[in-house]
Amino acid sequence: MKTGMATVVKNAGSHFLLSELPAWDLFPAVLKGKLRLEAGSSTNPVAVGDRVRYECGDEISELHPALITEVLDRRNHVIRRSTNLSRRNHVIAANLDQALLVTTLYFPEIKLPFLDRQLVTCEVYGIPAVIVLNKIDLYGTEAADEVEAFCRIYRGAGYRVLVTSARTLEGVDELRELCRGRLSLLSGESGVGKSSLVKAVDPSLDPKTARISDVHLQGRHTTSLYEMYPLGCGGYMIDSPGLRGFGLVGLEKEEIAKYFPEMLRVAEGCRFIPCTHTHEPDCAVKKAVEDGTISAERYNSYLGMLEEDKKFR
């Protein structure tokens, strides 16, 4: 029996593809029963990006896959609550250098609370986040003020915002350079153009068609799977299925404001510490919202997270 260490590059639920990065030589694997039982509150004990130990026979094939025996410690991960009223969580990806949070003003219409929940999760786990405002070619000149307002909100909060179009390639060179030498997660709602951006960054890739198949993965559409791609510029990109919801995991109500960078910058000026920034007098955060230093949109997202927190208590 042979043993080794590898990285999970594709997750199809109960079956996986591994590679001993930086070599790109994929082979199938399944999960040891003990690991499935130890999943606990998570819907998936293994995520794309995880470093794992495996064992196998002399030959690995579709009918004789490797066996994942251990998941090594993660340096970070992106996690969400599976559904709005679920107590189970789902690990989206692990061991990331950055998260590229793709959104659109229209097609589909943007949901700022969804984006803000992703940003809070990245802050919690120390993952640098970049906002990618995609499909800019579809907005028209009449939307210029809305694009500027969006960028002002999030750049003012301290985030980098890239404006892109997978069709016209606007912003793609900058995105490609940002991905060079890094493991990046593309995350966002359904329809925002994540897979198209993967192909724009590296035209040799086709994330809409499964390039590698085995008896378990054949015929599956990759946008329904989590999959890592090697980039010609160096580095790797994880394409993820479109998400319909993004519930926070493991945060106490009193902690949430700490993960809004613009709130954290002014919170020391609050009369009461800790302060929920809701009803307390002489609250520096509320004052910053009133004078426009903190956007009302971000503050409303924060209030929504406080209400969401009550559902699970």
Q: Where are the beta strands (DSSP E) in 51-104?
A: 51-56, 66-71, 77-81, 89-94, 98-103
Q: Is the pLDDT of residue 213 over 50?
A: no
Average pLDDT of the chain, as a whole number = 87
114 shares a domain with 227: yes
Q: Please check whether residues 153 and 283 belong to one and the same domain.
A: no
Tens of pLDDT along 166-176? 999 999 999 99
Same domain, 151 and 202: yes
182 shares its domain with 81: yes
Residue 40 in domain: yes
pLDDT digits over 100-120, tens only? 999 999 888 999 999 999 999
Residue of 180, 161, 162 lying closest to 172 (CA atoms): 162
The confidence score (pLDDT) of residue 36 equals 60
Report H helices in the chain: 33-37, 112-124, 144-157, 172-179, 194-201, 261-266, 284-290, 296-311
Write the CATH number for 191: 3.40.50.300
Predicted local distance difference test score (pLDDT) of residue 211 = 39
Mean pLDDT of 299-307: 94
What integer pLDDT is reported at residue 309 of this predicted model?
57
Of residues 56, 29, 62, the one with CA closest to residue 218: 62
- pLDDT of 216: 39
Domain boundary among 18, 45, 71: 71
- Say how far apart CA 236 and CA 251 lie, in whole Å: 30
Are 230 and 286 in a shared domain?
A: no
Structure-token match 């809070």, residue found = 120
pLDDT (0 to 100) of residue 249:
76
Asked if the model's pLDDT at residue 278 lies above 90, the reply is yes
Considering 31-45, 86-100, 121-135, 198-212, the range whose residues carry the highest mean pLDDT is 121-135
Q: Do 41 and 132 reside in the same domain of the chain?
A: no
56 and 84 in a common domain: no
Domain that holds residue 283: 253-311
160: which DSSP letter? E
pLDDT at 50: 97
- Say how far residue 171 (Cα) sits from the centre of its chain: 20
Per-residue pLDDT tens over the stretch 11-64 = 987 899 999 999 999 999 999 876 665 555 677 789 999 999 999 988 888 888
- Using DSSP's 3-state secondary structure scheme, residue 51 falls into strand
pLDDT in tens, 68-97: 999 999 999 998 876 554 567 888 999 999
Two tokens, residue 23? 């070599």
Relative to beta strand 160-163, strand 2-11 is unpaired
| 285, two tokens | 């955060």
The answer to whether 183 and 236 are in contact (CB under 8 A) is yes
Q: Tell me, what's the pLDDT at 221?
A: 38
CATH number, domain with residue 278: 1.10.40.50
Q: What percent of the chain has pLDDT over 70?
A: 87
- Statement: residue 270 has pLDDT above 90: yes
Q: What is the pLDDT of residue 227?
A: 93
pLDDT for 243: 67
Q: Is residue 132, in this structure, part of any structural domain at all?
A: yes
Q: Is the pLDDT of residue 225 over 70?
A: yes
As for how many domains the chain has, the answer is: 3
In the predicted model, what is the mean pLDDT of residues 230-253?
A: 83
pLDDT-above-90 percentage for the chain: 67
Q: What is the DSSP string of 100-129?
A: EEEE-STTTTP-HHHHHHHHHHHHHTT--E
* Separation between Cα atoms, residue 151 and residue 161, nearest integer Å: 6
- pTM (2 decimals)? 0.87
Residues 6+ apart with CB under 8 A from 164: 132, 133, 134, 136, 170, 171, 172, 175, 197, 200
In this predicted structure, what is the pLDDT of residue 206? 82
Structure tokens at 77: 């991960």
For range 118-145, the mean pLDDT: 93
Statement to judge: residues 24 and 39 lie in one domain: yes
**Which of 177, 204, 239 is the last residue before a domain boundary?**
239
What tens digit of pLDDT does each residue of 244-257 get? Answer: 667 787 788 889 99
Q: Which residues contact 134 (CB under 8 A, 6 or more apart)?
A: 102, 103, 104, 164, 165, 166, 192, 193, 197
How big is the chain, counted in residues?
A: 313
Span 127-133, mean pLDDT?
97
- What does the pLDDT average to over 180-205? 93
* pLDDT value for 300: 97
